[in-house]
Amino acid sequence: LQIFDAFKPRLHDSNSKVNQVALEALHKMIPLLKDNLSPVINMLIPAIVDNNLNSKNPGIYAAATNVIQALCQHVDTSLLLQPFCTKAQFLSGKAKQDLTEKLA
């Protein structure tokens, strides 16, 4: 938890390169941690989705999409259902469409 408390702000960093590298690092961590991410999943999903899925930066958008895909592949989907539904309700644009497709 302490590691992810420190890591989460990098997912919102105003420097796009830092933000993108944080997303890419998370993408590499997910297959290793799998369901051990359950204590932090409710913290991570908003951090991943809020700014990154609607980013105009193609690198950040691609990295965020890859992270969401990795979560769907490696984490128990029952852990993802509630946070995805909650975020999908309040998103707009491409992020809402992407998350709704993952929910379906």
**pLDDT tens column, 40-89:** 999 999 999 988 999 999 999 999 999 999 999 999 999 999 999 999 99
If you average pLDDT over residues 1-12, what whole number do you get? 91
- d(Cα 30, Cα 37) in Å, to the nearest integer? 8
Q: What is the rounded radius of gyration, in angstroms, for the C-alpha atoms of the chain?
A: 12
What is residue 80's predicted lDDT score, i.e. its pLDDT?
93
Name the more confident of 47 and 104: 47
**pTM confidence score:** 0.92
Residue 20, number of CB atoms within 10 A of its CB: 21
The residues spanned by each domain of the chain are 2-101
Region 22-38: mean pLDDT is 94
Mean pLDDT of 25-42: 94
Mean pLDDT of the chain, nearest integer: 93
